[in-house]
A = this chain, B = another copy of it.
């Protein structure tokens, strides 16, 4: 086990500074371990197994895999064949086979800390998946130099979720160590498949937020530099992700071109018309055909085409409009070329407002804590996050939620093959979560 060398450390006998240093070293090690064994969405078997292992060793009540996932709500997951290969790989890479077997082919975990004292239920959400990116092996890329570049070709933590997971595990240890200062119930949600906004819905639909009064999540990096912190976020774009498959008919392009039903021309027509959907006067809209693959051979009229598409909107209504127009275009591009088509929803996220009252207590707590240089009022995101679905779920049940940004120097942009971040943000994130959790029960005595 990676952190076995620290087993001899006697927490009780150490100073606060020594304890912090001990924790920081530990979460940096966690981060590098997850970075090295990067697993992208719905493939996080080693990652989940490791989370379960740590949480159980700390004394948490832990649920995982099928216990926290509602399969019918799962979007954008590989075929069972591919999942089986990833389970095999995860075990080969040291994932506990007994834990993985228990997970029932699904990833993600929830750890519960019951303080035994009355108080609210606070959910903390950490996303755990990597990106489908081939990590840089350049000599100026720190993970390469320091030996924790991803071992899994084509999967890389290029967004910082390795850091989120590390903060979550460190925080779990800290809270357990400081359990006597806490009230109510704390739920650690380790969510799979945030990339592509695929995972949140399946956890919500499993009911894991049914008892939650307060919800906290957040992200490291983005536009905020080291030392800055935002207690709330705006500019979540509502989004829908779809895969489209056109099925026509092949034919020899030289001898029988008229016999084909050209799926590429259907896809080409769809693409150019989808990109021509006009902008909306009431707010930001986006649409992208990100991937198009068609055809089987140079001399055959393409019988198949697949497209990966996303729509976005500043409001859910705007996204819905973009989505409807996109669907209509696809339908008629197919019909025009005598193709069948199939649309699969691969992800979705909404747009929300963080609760001002909660954000204010978070902001003041961070100011008081004195570990960040500056607390900005609010940070603009301009992207999509399926934490929004969880935030809305909690708010709809009468709870409160916010999404924080933890400033951090980053090497190359998010999702870039040379992404990296300054690990000093990790212990700061841990301490911010910890202090806010202590403060929340004072916010509302009624819940």
Contact = CB atoms under 8 A, between A and B. Distances in A.
Nearest to A274: B276
Contact of A132 (B241, B297, B332, B346): B297
A276 B281 contact: no
Interface string A298-319: 1111100000111010000000
A254 B292 contact: no
A268 B272 contact: yes
Q: Name A's interface SS.
A: mixed
Contacts of A337: 273
Contact of A335 (B279, B321, B332, B383): B332
B294 A291 contact: yes
A328 interface: yes
A253 interface: yes
Interface stretch (A54-62, A77-85, A120-128, A282-290): A282-290
A239 B299 CA distance: 11
Nearest to A301: B288
Contacts of A272: 265, 268-269, 272-273, 276
Nearest to A251: B278
A133 B139 CA distance: 41
A258 B278 contact: yes
A371 to B, nearest CB: 28
Contacts of A296: 290-291
Contacts of A289: 264, 295, 302
Given A255-B382, A265-B276, A383-B255, A308 B301 contact: no
A196 interface: yes
Contacts of A252: 383, 413-415
Contacts of A362: none
* Residue among A278, A280, A294, A308 with most chain B CB within 10 A: A278
B281 A256 contact: yes
A384 interface: yes
B281 A288 contact: no
B281 A382 contact: yes
B255 A298 contact: no
Contacts of A438: none
A308 to B, nearest CB: 4
Contact of A273 (B267, B269, B312, B415): B269
Contact of A264 (B292, B321, B383, B384): B292
A265 B257 contact: no
Interface of A: 132, 196, 237, 239, 241, 252-258, 260, 262, 264-265, 267-269, 271-273, 275-276, 278-282, 284-286, 288-302, 308-310, 312, 321, 328-329, 331-333, 335-338, 346, 382-384, 413-415
Closest 8 A/B residue pairs (Cβ): A253-B288, A291-B295, A275-B276, A257-B278, A290-B298, A332-B336, A332-B332, A298-B308
Given A254-B312, A300-B415, 15 more contacts: A196-B298, A252-B414, A252-B415, A254-B310, A254-B384, A255-B281, A257-B288, A260-B278, A288-B300, A288-B301, A291-B297, A292-B293, A292-B294, A298-B309, A333-B336
